[in-house]
Structure 1
């Protein structure tokens, strides 16, 4: 025998109720089944809200009542085709509605809505729906749950199930079990007064569990509108997926902390009888769903699911008089219990001078009053502080029975939150280690759930959320590389690069679910004009987990945003050289902030585009080596220009070719002035462990200062004036078998840049095209310096270097 419970969504529409019919009839061919049904979806809320309207003397309650009648009538007209059955059902339903109408009218007249009356009103939802289902399914027998589900009234005003009497009555009622039985869920009767009561919102699950346990059912099936328990709330975490198996304890923990798949009291009755629970989807019956049972075989996952409760309040009971005093906690919880206030989390300091209790925000004001009254004498003498509620919080529970077998789970959990800039306000973990619960600021709930889900490999993919600023040559190449590699990374690396923001110099688009990289250019054109302040506000305001800001601009204003981003736990990858080469104090602050926040500030492409220069220097220093001297050709643009010079290619033409082939900046004067090389040298000097400023670099340039004044058009107009001088010098060098190289040099912290000549045999002599070369002399590499050489300019290699930085963050 099976017990099948169908929730409100399973009887909420014609489509769903016909699915229910097919499921039941298929199961009934194999064995006897008892069907427990909830009210039509939304009807319980409608019954309550209509009662409030009547209580307030609002005559529109009649319109709401008529709408409920019409909904049930339309359902019957659509699904019941047999004329006689339909007529009999209408008589039954209309008789119930006449009773309900009279109750509403009484509430309207006397402006009173007692608990007894309210319980009677909400009972009609299940009574109506169960009669419809019993008529729809052929040969089904209807039973009134109030005849065998009995409650008793407790001092705190709540109705509690009388388990012994209920079990006896259930067994008596179903001793001659029909093939198909239909029972309204949720409703019950007081064993002493015979008044209609209920088992609480979600109580239909409980009804089904009570029946299943009493009759030793083979299985209890909960049919709802999801495929089962999910690893997290799929409305928040897109990568959440169905959990195949859960233990009773794991399911209970998840239910208690916000997973609304099953009403928590449902689990206990079937657990003690070792009856499995299967959660299935009415709209997807072929899916196996989630099975809940005593033991899970071959279970290797430490974490099963993450659940949460928003609208949490935290009350801290604190005072020096609590230390070592026996009975303080008893007084706290007795006072709250006597006033019907439920606590779902407790955290106490080992010093015993404070106890923090988590509860619903709606209960917090009453709880503060109760506790202030309970400890009034202690507060008056100063031995304890007045209670206050901290609101706007959220509680998260990480659940899994295997956590007890895996060391370091709590450390990983809190470390992951810390790196994302999320502070834990209070936490609690039982000795069983099945549940680690903690309270955070409610504004970080979405971010916390995502980062934890991703970190503990509950997600199918590791997700990195990217904001890309700059869609010029480098930025557009980077976006294309991400687009082309997207599927391969997901398949082979289980990595999803999610571009959630793209900004140009004037426009920006943002989408936390991910931007379509095939159409981003069109989206940018159609987006609103933006500025750096808007960019800062949008990136920080998205408050998204595992986020990385990628700067592919040369903008000083954009680089000024890095500090704010790092402070908000957003990693920064910069192709932009300005920040790392700005004043030394700002550079150090960026590095220290990234270290303190546990995020990354990466700028490998600032020097050498895709060459591993900065990374190599860092590796040498981290291994204990000391950088003594750096000699480098750092401008791919200048190297290209001086390699292009020939009898047939004058200086001005070589500069123009560098511009046309994308090696130089849009304004080549930035390259020719040596500013770009100076910035790179400063960055390398700092990464080598020395304090350096741009103003202290000794400069020996090769272009007269006058060429850097005026407009860019003036520059191109006057540039050919230098061709003859460069050609004469070039011929002399050629005769001497020498070549020009613009060399940056650092020796023990002293820096210089100059256009110099190198002889044949020098490591820089045969440097081709736009290549860069760096020669590192260290304490270990003193006699034979280390050489790093390769392409040092170009949008594609720079974009590839930025991509490598992104991947290095993804692999942490």
Structure 2
């Protein structure tokens, strides 16, 4: 028996020539004081109990904090208990359940041959007399549920990162620690049966762009009766762009001139019925009608066509109207206000969709992501999700499901800043990140991202119509594709899925029968050469050569410290001891509010010229070849042969650290023809032809 070590207590017992199984348990935070004493005692069923008592500064006196049970080296349990004076144990099928009199329930399983694991969950004391264990097996999971509302679940054949955190649905709010378990045969399915969500289904703006599209998405969801999804939605169609434009126009034209905004007529004609506009004009000054038509653009026509009560969005329409008026009067649109403004798009689409599902008899519940635990940094317009998000989201969604099962409809793209508590956005395309974060939080078996294309394609179909779907991708390949311009995925959205090793399936909501693209941790690369070709336009390239001819220790460090100080991201890099060529991310370079494009580039060059000779080249494109770098020599050989035949000069070449990407820099005017020619060679020829 060891004393406490970092709050952990370890127990092991030697029996003759063999050592019994040992367990490791964590002491509750309040008990990290002086270890008082330990006692070994035995209960029925041949289960040995090791109880460690700790002193606690309260009227409760000494309380037990750790329990370890061992039986024939095959059965072990660990957990916490207030008191074990009345320990009881009972055999339940081929497992054991041990209860204490103070309301902590412990369950454990013995496997037939090899490994065991254990779990723990808490029942509030006032519910102890109502304990009634029901065992379920649903979708490959073993679940224990008590009448009091406490429950635990675990998935077999998966790593710990796949296990689901579930919570007691009482005001005590106790957390259930979930540990992997082996599963025995199905015994009983309760009347509730469906005890948790099974997948995330994310739909982009084009998938819910109109009332008709929303109906099709609803039918698509209902076509998978075996699924219990969490649905993540983007804003309808081009709503985000329209909101941003409305905010920008409001800052410059003033309230009295808003009716002359060019986009006003478009919004009215496209999204508001004529009789509604005529009715408004009788009572509302002309200069204010813009705000109301902007509101109507978001939802009124869709609400009417779906037959949903307008009260579903009335409050948000009023708030949006007031916000736009405030922006016009203040003549200012800060990043913080911009995030709040664009959040109305997702808030509207989810409320409309949830209301429609309820109207057709499908129970649904709407959630704003910033109200259910999505905690982010305070980087407005490009916030990042913090680790505290995951347990908070799991607690809220699983808790609501347990108390009142319903399809969850969650806003994508949004969060709440940790410091300011203001609404934040995750950057354009951040709804994908919302979906994968929910998948990680709940440990779901699959994340589905529904787009308007048949998965990830071999190139941009707008450049080359013969682009084909890619059936399989790795997370590394997907990350490179996203970073270098593929619009199907958000650059950061794969991170939660990769961390939890959860497959992501990209499918087409317009063509649900298409297999789409499955993104996993690894795939068979034996026959793969290229996966996809991505073109990133309007790139700025810098050639930087040191002005000193001696040893250049620290030269690269000085160069990159300049970019760090200026807050500028670098795309592609090629280096030597005395020179470096790199490209700048145009989306981040041009997004600044206080510095114009020309002056910012001048400032970059000015700082670099203090240590080097700088050659600035604009209007360049990056062609990224994503694929099997084990065949990089073959890829480069064929690529240079194709580009040479087109008379194209490659101005820079770089291979990424991920080992799945080779990038070539060419002139902007040459980029598209290069992509078409490369696609023809790599994707429209047999492997044997390429190797020859």
Give the Cα separation in 2 of the matches to 1:187 and 1:307: 28
Distance 1:22 1:452, change over 3 A: same
Larger radius of gyration: 1
2:607 corresponding residue in structure 1? 374
Contact 2:339 2:381 in 1 (8 A): no
1:722 corresponding residue in structure 2? none
1:59 corresponding residue in structure 2? 258
1:419 corresponding residue in structure 2? 645
Using the TM superposition, give the Cα deviation of residue 366 of structure 1 relative to its aligned residue in structure 2, in angstroms: 5.5
1:262 corresponding residue in structure 2? 489
The two structures have a TM-score, normalised by structure 2, of: 0.61
Matched, 1:144 2:368: yes
Paired residue for 1:440, among 666, 669, 684? 666
2:337 corresponding residue in structure 1? 117
1:181 corresponding residue in structure 2? 408
Contact 2:541 2:581 in 1 (8 A): no
Paired residue for 1:292, among 502, 511, 519? 519
- Higher normalized strand content (fraction of residues): 2
1:698 corresponding residue in structure 2? none
Using the TM superposition, give the Cα deviation of residue 101 of structure 1 relative to its aligned residue in structure 2, in angstroms: 1.1
Contact 1:322 1:328 in 2 (8 A): no
Give the Cα separation in 1 of the matches to 2:549 and 2:583: 15
Q: Deviations over 1:555-585 (max 9, x none)?
A: xxxxxxxxxxxxxxxxxxxxxxxxxxxxxxx
Distance 1:198 1:30, change over 3 A: same
Using the TM superposition, give the Cα deviation of residue 235 of structure 1 relative to its aligned residue in structure 2, in angstroms: 1.3
Q: Deviations over 1:684-726 (max 9, x none)?
A: xxxxxxxxxxxxxxxxxxxxxxxxxxxxxxxxxxxxxxxxxxx
Within a 5 Å distance, the mapping from 1:266-285 to structure 2 comes to: 266-285=493-512
2:354 corresponding residue in structure 1? 134
> What SS does the aligned partner of 1:153 have?
coil
Give the Cα separation in 1 of the matches to 2:540 and 2:438: 36
Distance 1:366 1:241, change over 3 A: farther
> What SS does the aligned partner of 1:307 have?
strand
Using the TM superposition, give the Cα deviation of residue 298 of structure 1 relative to its aligned residue in structure 2, in angstroms: 6.3
Paired residue for 1:209, among 436, 444, 449? 436
Give the Cα separation in 1 of the matches to 2:583 and 2:554: 16
Give the Cα separation in 1 of the matches to 2:639 and 2:654: 13
Give the Cα separation in 2 of the matches to 1:271 and 1:417: 35
Distance 1:64 1:6, change over 3 A: farther
Using the TM superposition, give the Cα deviation of residue 26 of structure 1 relative to its aligned residue in structure 2, in angstroms: 2.5
1:360 corresponding residue in structure 2? 586
1:167 corresponding residue in structure 2? 390
Contact 1:404 1:432 in 2 (8 A): no
Give the Cα separation in 2 of the matches to 1:283 and 1:431: 36
Give the Cα separation in 2 of the matches to 1:14 and 1:202: 22
Using the TM superposition, give the Cα deviation of residue 33 of structure 1 relative to its aligned residue in structure 2, in angstroms: 0.8
Paired residue for 1:17, among 208, 214, 236? 214
Q: Which blocks of at least 5 consecutive residues in structure 1 are unaligned?
A: 81-85, 379-383, 463-492, 495-809
Distance 1:368 1:327, change over 3 A: farther
Contact 1:187 1:196 in 2 (8 A): yes
Distance 1:67 1:293, change over 3 A: same
Distance 1:259 1:366, change over 3 A: farther
Give the Cα separation in 1 of the matches to 2:548 and 2:478: 39
> What SS does the aligned partner of 2:568 have?
coil
1:96 corresponding residue in structure 2? 316
> What SS does the aligned partner of 2:617 have?
strand
Matched, 1:44 2:240: yes
> What SS does the aligned partner of 1:415 have?
helix
Give the Cα separation in 2 of the matches to 1:298 and 1:312: 31
> What SS does the aligned partner of 1:341 have?
coil
Give the Cα separation in 2 of the matches to 1:202 and 1:265: 9
Paired residue for 1:330, among 557, 562, 577? 557
Q: Deviations over 1:61-102 (max 9, x none)?
A: 65554444334111111113xxxxx33xx1231211111111
Give the Cα separation in 2 of the matches to 1:451 and 1:376: 38
Using the TM superposition, give the Cα deviation of residue 166 of structure 1 relative to its aligned residue in structure 2, in angstroms: 0.7
Contact 1:188 1:196 in 2 (8 A): yes
Contact 2:502 2:520 in 1 (8 A): yes
1:221 corresponding residue in structure 2? 448
Distance 1:388 1:103, change over 3 A: farther
Distance 1:459 1:234, change over 3 A: farther
- Higher normalized helix content (fraction of residues): 1
Q: Which blocks of at least 5 consecutive residues in structure 2 are unaligned?
A: 1-197, 262-287, 591-596
Give the Cα separation in 2 of the matches to 1:365 and 1:428: 27
Q: Deviations over 1:213-258 (max 9, x none)?
A: 1111111100110011110111111221111111111111111111
Contact 1:332 1:371 in 2 (8 A): no
> What SS does the aligned partner of 1:142 have?
strand
The two structures have a TM-score, normalised by structure 1, of: 0.52
Give the Cα separation in 2 of the matches to 1:299 and 1:306: 19
> What SS does the aligned partner of 1:241 have?
coil
Within a 5 Å distance, the mapping from 1:573-612 to structure 2 comes to: none
Using the TM superposition, give the Cα deviation of residue 164 of structure 1 relative to its aligned residue in structure 2, in angstroms: 1.8
Give the Cα separation in 2 of the matches to 1:236 and 1:338: 37
> What SS does the aligned partner of 1:59 have?
helix
Distance 1:431 1:375, change over 3 A: closer
Within a 5 Å distance, the mapping from 1:296-307 to structure 2 comes to: 296-297=523-524, 299-307=526-534
Using the TM superposition, give the Cα deviation of residue 415 of structure 1 relative to its aligned residue in structure 2, in angstroms: 2.2
Q: Deviations over 1:161-206 (max 9, x none)?
A: 3422111211111123334100011111112221111111111111
Misfit runs of 4+, over 6 Å: none
Greater shift in the superposed pair: 158-167 or 215-224: 158-167
Using the TM superposition, give the Cα deviation of residue 160 of structure 1 relative to its aligned residue in structure 2, in angstroms: 3.8
